[in-house]
């Protein structure tokens, strides 16, 4: 299969005209080549070609809560947003905290996933066993530590427990909110604002404990640490300082932290309630700057859908924003707004995450890489496609997204084309045990 009249983004941020040949699911780039579209070719005239987005933080809610999304529906929503690889979080019901549960989840993805995928394991204190880590780590993205409770397991926020986990695992991805700092008592959104109930101090406290545990270990025993969904200026400052000090730390943020403030959350209620909470305009500006400076390495959706009736609860809506089906248009919006340049797009969309989690062949449009591509077109006046996620609502409806995803290719197979899913198979796990 060939893509003719192609204009693609190279990893340095230049736009290259030519022809893209797909050979056995891999890219062969022919800059400057011209060809007429023949049978089976894709004609990309008038469109831009981007690398498939690697969304390293999603919750497809399967097993246990598939009514909220599920693997089949969630990966279709991903294709519509230009996502070709996603990494699924382990706070399922039951949590993916044992080898047996991971294998069962892997089998579900094999049967249902329309995108490439990778899995995390959820940490409990018993995961500090080095033999367990040595057995499991090669087949997953990393260990996920929740410092705030997010499933049947309690939060892990004792510095000694963190240190033991850090010693055992090579890559540790952390939800850095220390729930021992949250306001006490049952939560009710009408009584206390979400960002007040989970105060900024819970993030500062979590970062202090992480740093304490890292510094307690000799450098060779320290893992790579990923600060997930950075939401504040505090995380940007911490990441900047720790990177300058030579620590192997990565930072992730999400579109909703770049676009909204807690005032928007208060106005929209459960639809913009997420963990960690969206904060101030100052935090938003710091995150936008961190994306360019490199303090923040990559963007993730933290796609976390709930049923519409749950989001609409006036008192105790669950936390989570469903954003995966607008991901590439959101990053292009940030680019059009001048927050990021073309030179940063490949890092933010895929290369930052693939370097962090050691995923091969998906770090941008290069010869020999997996042919995971997205064709987009500027069409600001065209209505957006109908919502696919089971959350049933577009949280970015008020954001003027100018770009539309026309086609998404997974390993060279057209999986999404002009609003339709072809059912193409070819998705694979990015870590093969």
In this chain, which stretch among 4-12, 99-107, 299-307, 392-400 interacts with Zn ion, using CB under 5 A? 299-307
CB of 358 to Zn ion, least distance (A): 21
Q: Which residues contact 218 (CB under 8 A, 6 or more apart)?
A: none
Residue whose C-beta lies closest to Zn ion: 302
Q: Let me know: does 162 contact 214? Beta carbons within 8 Å.
A: no
CB of 174 to Zn ion, least distance (A): 11
Residues 88, 163, 283, 302: which binds Zn ion (CB under 5 A)? 302
244: which 2 tokens? 């300058």
**Site residues (CB under 5 A) for Zn ion, limited to 384-403:** none
CB of 304 to Zn ion, least distance (A): 6
For Zn ion, the closer of residues 105 and 222 by Cβ is 105
Angle between helical axes of 233-244 and 281-293 (0-180°, round to 10): 30
In this chain, which stretch among 36-44, 297-305, 321-329, 407-415 interacts with Zn ion, using CB under 5 A? 297-305
CB of 120 to Zn ion, least distance (A): 10
CB of 146 to Zn ion, least distance (A): 9
**Site residues (CB under 5 A) for Zn ion, limited to 326-345:** none
**What is each CA distance from 162 to 126, 166, 173, 229, 346, in whole angstroms?**
11, 6, 12, 19, 32
Query: Do strands 171-175 and 142-146 pair parallel, antiparallel, or not at all (unpaired)?
Result: parallel
> 3-class DSSP state for residue 77?
helix
Active-site annotation holds for 302: yes
CB atoms within 10 A of CB 233: 19
For Zn ion, the closer of residues 173 and 350 by Cβ is 173
For Zn ion, the closer of residues 88 and 302 by Cβ is 302
In this chain, which stretch among 131-139, 279-287, 295-303, 424-432 interacts with Zn ion, using CB under 5 A? 295-303
For Zn ion, the closer of residues 235 and 302 by Cβ is 302
Round to whole Å and give the CA distance between 183 and 187: 9
> Residue-wise over 378-413: b if at least 16 C-beta within 10 A, else e?
eeeeeeeeebbbbbebbbbeeeebebbbbbbbbbbb
Q: Which residues contact 124 (CB under 8 A, 6 or more apart)?
A: 97, 153, 156
Per-residue DSSP letters for 149-173? --SSSPP---HHHHHHHHHH-SEEE
In this chain, which stretch among 48-56, 135-143, 296-304, 393-401 interacts with Zn ion, using CB under 5 A? 296-304
CB of 89 to Zn ion, least distance (A): 5
For Zn ion, the closer of residues 60 and 137 by Cβ is 60
152: which 2 tokens? 């049947």
CB of 429 to Zn ion, least distance (A): 20
Round to whole Å and give the CA distance between 302 and 327: 11
Q: What are phi and psi of 388, to 5 degrees?
A: -100, -40
What value, to the nearest 5°, has the Cα angle with vertex 67 and ends 63 and 71? Answer: 50
69 binds Zn ion (CB under 5 A): no
Report how many residues bind Zn ion under the rule CB under 5 A: 1
**What is each CA distance from 422 to 63, 109, 157, 404, in whole angstroms?**
25, 18, 45, 18
**What is each CA distance from 25 to 36, 82, 392, 404, 426, in whole angstroms?**
22, 17, 33, 24, 9
CB of 273 to Zn ion, least distance (A): 13
For Zn ion, the closer of residues 300 and 401 by Cβ is 300
Helix (H) or strand (E) holding 76: helix 71-80
For Zn ion, the closer of residues 177 and 363 by Cβ is 177
For Zn ion, the closer of residues 44 and 123 by Cβ is 123
Catalytic residue among 55, 234, 297, 302: 302
73: which 2 tokens? 């529906």
In this chain, which stretch among 181-189, 294-302, 310-318, 326-334 interacts with Zn ion, using CB under 5 A? 294-302
- Which residues participate in catalysis according to the annotation? 302
- Enumerate binding residues for Zn ion (CB under 5 A): 302
């Amino acid at each position: 299969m060939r893509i003719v009249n192609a204009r693609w983004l190279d990893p340095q941020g230049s736009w290259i005209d030519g022809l893209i040949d797909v050979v056995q699911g891999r890219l062969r780039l022919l800059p400057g080549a011209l060809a007429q579209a023949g049978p089976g070719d894709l004609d990309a005239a008038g469109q831009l070609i981007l690398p498939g987005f690697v969304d390293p933080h999603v919750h497809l809610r399967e097993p246990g809560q598939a009514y909220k999304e599920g693997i089949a529906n969630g990966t279709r929503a991903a294709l519509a947003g230009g996502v070709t690889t996603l990494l699924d979080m382990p706070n399922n019901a039951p949590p993916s905290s044992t080898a047996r549960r991971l294998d069962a989840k892997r089998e579900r993805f094999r049967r249902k996933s329309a995108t490439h995928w990778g899995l995390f394991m959820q940490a409990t204190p018993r995961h500090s066993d080095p033999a367990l880590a040595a057995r499991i780590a090669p087949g997953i993205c990393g260990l996920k530590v929740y410092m705030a409770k997010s499933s049947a397991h309690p939060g892990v926020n004792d510095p000694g427990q963190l240190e033991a986990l850090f010693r055992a695992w090579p890559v540790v991805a952390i939800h850095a909110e220390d729930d021992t700092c949250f306001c006490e008592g049952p939560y009710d959104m009408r009584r206390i604002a979400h960002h007040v109930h989970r105060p900024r101090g819970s993030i500062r406290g979590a970062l202090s404990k992480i740093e304490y545990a890292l510094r307690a270990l000799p450098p060779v025993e320290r893992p790579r640490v990923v600060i997930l969904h950075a939401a504040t200026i505090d995380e940007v400052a911490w990441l900047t300082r720790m990177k300058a000090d030579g620590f192997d730390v990565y930072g992730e943020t999400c579109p909703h932290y770049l676009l909204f403030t807690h005032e928007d959350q208060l106005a929209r209620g459960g639809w913009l309630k997420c963990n960690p909470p969206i904060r101030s305009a100052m935090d938003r500006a710091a995150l936008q700057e961190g994306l360019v400076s490199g303090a923040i390495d990559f963007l993730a959706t933290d796609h976390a859908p709930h049923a519409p009736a749950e989001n609409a609860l006036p008192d105790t809506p669950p936390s989570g924003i469903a954003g995966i089906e607008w991901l590439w248009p959101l990053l292009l919006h940030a680019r059009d707004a001048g927050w990021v340049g073309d030179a940063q797009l490949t890092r933010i969309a895929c290369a930052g995450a693939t370097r962090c989690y050691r995923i091969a062949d998906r770090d941008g449009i290069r010869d020999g890489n997996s042919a995971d591509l997205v064709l987009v077109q500027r069409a600001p006046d065209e209505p957006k496609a109908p919502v696919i996620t089971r959350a049933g609502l577009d949280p970015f409806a008020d954001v003027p997204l100018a770009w539309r995803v026309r086609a998404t290719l997974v390993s060279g197979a057209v999986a999404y084309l002009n609003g339709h899913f072809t059912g193409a198979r070819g998705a694979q796990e990015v870590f093969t045990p």
